[in-house]
Amino acid sequence: MKRMQDSQFTVGRVINFAMTGFTIVVVPIFQSECAPPALRGMISATLQLQIGFGQLVASLVNYGTKGMDGDVSWLIPTGLQLVVPIIILGLLPMLPESPRWLMARGRKDEALRAMAKLRKKDVPIELLREEMELLAASDTNRGKGTWKEIFQGVNRRRTTIAVTAMFFQQITGQAFVSQYAVIFYQRQKIPNPFGISVVQAVVGLVTVIFTSLVVDSFGRRPILLTGGSFMAFFLFVLGGVGTIRNPNATQKNAMVASNILFGASYALSWAPLSYTILGEAATSRLKEKTNNLATSISVITTFVVSFTLPYLLNPPYAALGARVGFVYGSISAISVVVAWLLIPEMKGRSLEEVDEMFEKNIAVRQFRDYQSSGIGRVIAGEDNTGTEVSGKSSVSGANQAV
């Protein structure tokens, strides 16, 4: 019987993880294509917000069932996982399709209806039609590219950015806090490890909400660089305390605080903004393939980190304990350097503007101040303000820009 249950759990986890992979690929694309440029950071950060909320609920459920006897202690957490998929299935028919996706397939009428649902109710239908014409005039929204294209020309740079964002989201050691924190606290004989995990989840959720509110004001790069720096700092503090052979209560509290603050720094930066960058980096016709590759790298990285962490933490292997902070702190420090060198600022830009800047090979630190001149600038103006640009019709303005 137990072997059958183990097999069922394994199959269930495979299906669950596969659906998670679909979500990570599709949701950033959908959000980036539907959101106005001025709100794209906030909207795309909601993916991590949902993940953080799920972690909080899971922590509370585990905390509430940890003392129960018998099968009910695992049947309740497992059964509750059915609730959210049922809610999602009920709400999916209300979700409009991406106008860019519809335009790429020549379904203009459907694209117009979808755009009307996504924009303010008082936006004139004529303005929406003009925006549809702009999207139709953009070559980046036509057809689907090949796998070979994501490694060619300017697309190679864009693929590298997407892959880098998803790689450092996982390699910086978030699994230590999200998956192994309770076990770590138990081994360190820290009281109430399940309660601490709830506090971590609450702090992470609050921090993600804060990021979603400020990311379109401050931009992606400053938050990534700040958050990554704090991640490295708190992990180094954790590692430093871990060198003490018999830590006292104050030093154990320092370990807990470092873990919680690392989780907050991660929720501030790499956790939500990796999905934002994933949705922005690739050109529209290659987003599906680029995101598939980046997500695959993320899944592999997650597996490697999760698989190796027990060997790094526990005897009779590396037995680093809290000193594992030195390992992931160093990686977090590297992530700051890589973000500074590689990831450009794309806040407030239409996806077509982003295409233009990559096509012109604009340097990373010049993205923020670059003045675009093509169709993308007009689309950004219409998306963000719902008014005509420079007193001219959008189509004529786009034609002059081109």
What is the rounded CA–CA span in Å between residue 283 and residue 136?
A: 15
Digit-coded pLDDT (tens) for 175-205: 888 888 888 898 888 998 888 988 998 999 9
Residue holding tokens 């873990």? 259
Q: Model's pTM, two decimal places?
A: 0.84
In CATH, what class is 9-91+148-342? mainly alpha
Residue 142 confidence (pLDDT): 60
Digit-coded pLDDT (tens) for 209-225: 999 999 999 999 999 99
Cα 53–Cα 57–Cα 59 angle in degrees, nearest 5: 115
Residue 65 confidence (pLDDT): 87
Q: In whole numbers, what is the pLDDT of the chain averaged over residues? A: 85
pLDDT at 295 over 50: yes
Beta carbons of 177 and 59 less than 8 angstroms apart? no
Phi-psi region of 131 (alpha: psi -120 to 50; beta: other; left: phi over 0): alpha
Cis peptide before 93 (omega within 30 of 0): no
Residue 138 confidence (pLDDT): 63
Q: What is the separation of C-alpha 70 from the centre of its chain, rounded to a whole number of angstroms? A: 37
| Tally of residues, the chain | 402
- As given in the structure block, the two tokens for residue 107 are 């379904």
Mean pLDDT for 269-294 is 92
pLDDT at 172 over 70: yes
pLDDT at 398 over 50: no
Residue 2 confidence (pLDDT): 62
Mean pLDDT for 43-70 is 86
Grouping H, G, I as helix, E, B as strand and the rest as coil, residue 84 is: helix
Find the helix packing angle between 351-359 and 375-385, rounded to 10°: 160
Digit-coded pLDDT (tens) for 338-371: 999 999 999 988 888 898 899 999 999 999 989 8
Residue 391 confidence (pLDDT): 36
Q: Which of 65-79, 220-234, 377-391 is least confident? A: 377-391
pLDDT at 169 over 90: yes
What is the rounded CA–CA span in Å between residue 364 and residue 352?
A: 17
Burial of 151: CB neighbours in 10 Å, binned 0-12, 13-18, 19+: exposed
pLDDT at 93 over 70: yes
pLDDT at 324 over 70: yes
Q: How far is residue 79 from each of residues 58, 60, 75, 85, 86, measured CA to CA in Å?
A: 12, 15, 6, 12, 12
pLDDT at 396 over 60: no
Burial of 363: CB neighbours in 10 Å, binned 0-12, 13-18, 19+: exposed
pLDDT at 388 over 60: no
